[in-house]
Structure 1
Amino acid sequence: MPVSAGPRGAADQPSLAGRVALVTGASRGLGAAIALGLAARGAAVAVNYHASRARAEEVVRAIEDEGGKAVALPADVADPDACAELVAGTIANLGGLDVLVNNAGITKDSLIYQQEPADWLAVMRVNFGGVVNCTRAAMGTMLRQRSGSIVNISSVMGIRGWVGESPYAASKAAINAFTRCTAVEAARFGVRANAVLPGFAATDLVAGLTTKNGGRGILRQIPAKSFAGPEDVANVVAFLAGPGAAYMTGSLVTVDGGASAVLGVGAPLG
């Protein structure tokens, strides 16, 4: 799949020129869109990947083709030592760290009664553990420079329920709580922490849900009547990372077409 140059609306967002950003899980899907969006606004970007080096380098080339600066860096975010090396590599290659986007995630969907312990533990280690590990690794640099923006990619699943999604939803709920605590602890140092809660976005991670029956069953429950594009989420991430959100910290921002505002799944009256 070709990598686009960046999300629509990039020119309307605050500039990130001179900033360095690290995006975890950025070799494809939402992470790639976020990396491209930050680069389109002037940031130098570390494109983290776990297994797909080729895809990460494709994202880097797309950024460089537009005159930006980027580097692909491997790391398993479930490993604290790997996260420390990832942050050190970002600083060594790009000269600093101003923005951390914790995006890496996995899902292992199953009904609660059928779940294997190893499956939900794996989801928690990557989704929540990755946020904790990378935040801790980046915190020293951000606290010392008394500035920084951390944007955690959560999900509306963290505030609502869905059949077969309990490990994923629980990991995202943990991210929400961790985001608030990070914001409270880091605020006096000029470091902000916010979370973006996408709804159903057109990415590989939730393709099994959004493509079933053409997604019609889910679309009926979304007031906007469409799935989010990765660029829709990336635009919000870029805003939270930049100076326009300077007074925002501890916020959980939904990007879901109004889905979490709906009461129940019934048809409207009239």
Structure 2
Amino acid sequence: MVEKIAVVTGSNKGLGFAIVKGLCKKFKGTVYLTARDKIRGLEAVQKLNNDGLYPQFHILDVSNSESVKEFADFLKATHGGLDVLVNNAAILEWDEIYPSYEAAKRNIEVNYKSLLKIEEYLYPLLRDGARVVNISSSCGHLSNLKNKNWIDMFLKKDLKEHEVNKFVEDYLESVRNGTFDKKNFADGGKHAEHRVSKIAVTALTFIQQRKYADKNISINAVHPGHVKTDMANGGGEIDTDEAAEVVLYLILDASPNLKGAFVWHDKKLIDWYDPEGDFYCTGIW
């Protein structure tokens, strides 16, 4: 029998660490804790070892194509495939509510564009019955947008990846050339870069599910709640172990027919295509 393999990106701390911990307890297979920093990754593994949990470690910088390819080559050579993938790696620079172009670009490179690299190199390894969970946010709901043209585009049921990419690039260009308009976003456009990256993540989830419709793969996006992590800058409402529960549910317990969904932290399915919904980010991220 082929051993099942699970991978969690950006998992040396915070929510990713909690997901790895939960998988080590419940997943029947090998769990990979990944991080871009080897020392921090190995320290995280040691913490779990001290609790009698034994994930494997591999270095992975999701924003670096060569790093993602190297990891994919390793998985293919060592295990032949992959059964669970949690795309968790993300950043948010709290000190720039209205970020510079460089800060906005960093956010989008890690939070969104990394998923395109992950798809290129890791998705070919997904085996029959595989489950992919993309960690989104309340920032990733369509109600974060107020620009009608953008909303109309995202409401298209046949939305294409190149359209999402153009949305992202148009936002970045507006920051770069000084034409950024706060009125295009909810909550006065605060941390619009995070809203843009997470909306793109959620939309990409739906596109990917359609793209792989002929394969027995479940790809879903989730808002895990306002989690008490470094990204929440001291805020947050729930701890990482509690937030991890909805991700573990999608991996271990949800129906395999649950595909291309946007799931709230309480495991309810949320209508992402509701631009007037009360789901957008305010204050806590």
Q: How high is the TM-score relative to the length of structure 2?
A: 0.71
2:129 matched residue in structure 1: 147
Question: Paired residues, what number?
Answer: 227
- The corresponding residue for 1:194 is 220
1:48 aligns with 34
| Consecutive aligned runs of 4 or more in structure 1 exceeding 4 Å deviation | 62-69, 91-95, 260-265
- Separation of aligned partners in 2, 1:264 and 1:250: 22
The one-letter code matched in structure 1 to 2:12 is S
| Cα distance in 2, alignment partners of residues 153 and 263 from structure 1 | 16
Which residue of structure 2 aligns with residue 71 of structure 1?
56
Larger mean Cα displacement after TM superposition, 233-242 or 173-182: 233-242
Equivalent residues in 2 for 1:180-219 (5 A)?
180-208=206-234, 210=235
The alpha carbon displacement at 1:257 in A equals 10
Q: Which letter does structure 1 place at the counterpart of 2:216?
A: G
CA shift for structure 1 position 86: 1.7
SS in 2 for 1:25: coil
**Aligned positions of 1:123-138 closer than 5 A:** 123-138=107-122
Distance apart, 1:18 and its partner CA: 4.5
Q: Assess if the C-alpha contact under 8 Å between 1:83 and 1:133 holds in 2.
A: yes
Give deviations 1:124-167, integer Å, cap 9, x for gaps.
0000012221122111112xx33311101110011234453111
C-alpha RMSD of the superposition: 2.8
Q: How far apart are the structure 1 equivalents of 2:244 and 2:198?
A: 18
Q: Deviation at 1:55?
A: 3.0
CA distance, structure 2, for counterparts of residue 136 and residue 192 of structure 1: 17
- Corresponding residue to 2:90 among 105, 130, 135: 105
Partner of 2:12: 27
1:234 matched to 2:218? The reply is: no
Partner secondary structure for residue 213 of structure 2: helix
Q: Could you tell me which residue of structure 1 aligns to residue 200 of structure 2?
A: 174
CA distance in 2 between counterparts of 1:20 and 1:89 reads 12
Cα distance in 2 for residues equivalent to 1:60 and 1:119: 30
**Please, which of 87, 97, 122 is the counterpart of residue 106 of structure 2?**
122
CA distance in 2, matches of 1:133, 1:141: 13
- 1:67 CA drift (Å): 5.5
| Residues 200, 256 of structure 1: 8 Å contact kept | no
SS at match of 1:126: helix
Q: TM-score, normalised by structure 1?
A: 0.74
